[in-house]
Amino acid sequence: MTLEAKPRILVVEHSQDACLPIVSALDAAGFRGVAVYTGTAILSTIYADPPQCVIVPHGLPSTSGQGLLLDQLKNDNVYGHVPVILTIAKEEADGIDWGRVPADDYVVRPFTQGELLSRVRLCLARTTRDVNANPLTGLPGNISILREAERRLTAGQPFAMAYADIDHFKPYNDKYGFARGDEVLRMTGRIIVNALASLGSAETYVGHVGGDDFIFIAPPSMIVRACEEIVRNFDLIVPNFYDENDRSQGCIHSVDRQGNPAVFSLMGLSVAVVDTQISSILHLADISSRAAGVKKVAKTISGSNYIVDRRK
Which domains are present in the chain? Answer: 8-130 (3.40.50.2300), 142-309 (3.30.70.270)
What average pLDDT does range 137-154 have in this prediction?
A: 88
pLDDT tens digit sequence for 205-255: 999 998 999 999 999 999 999 999 999 999 999 999 999 999 999 999 998
Is the pLDDT at 300 greater than 70? The verdict is yes
pTM score, whole prediction: 0.73
Q: What is the pLDDT of residues 25-68, one digit of tens each?
A: 999 999 999 998 865 678 888 888 889 899 999 888 877 666 78
Residue 2 binned pLDDT confidence (cut-offs 50, 70, 90): very low
**Per-chain mean pLDDT for the chain:** 89
Instruction: Collect all residues with Cβ–Cβ distance below 8 Å to 194 and sequence separation of at least 6.
Output: 47, 233
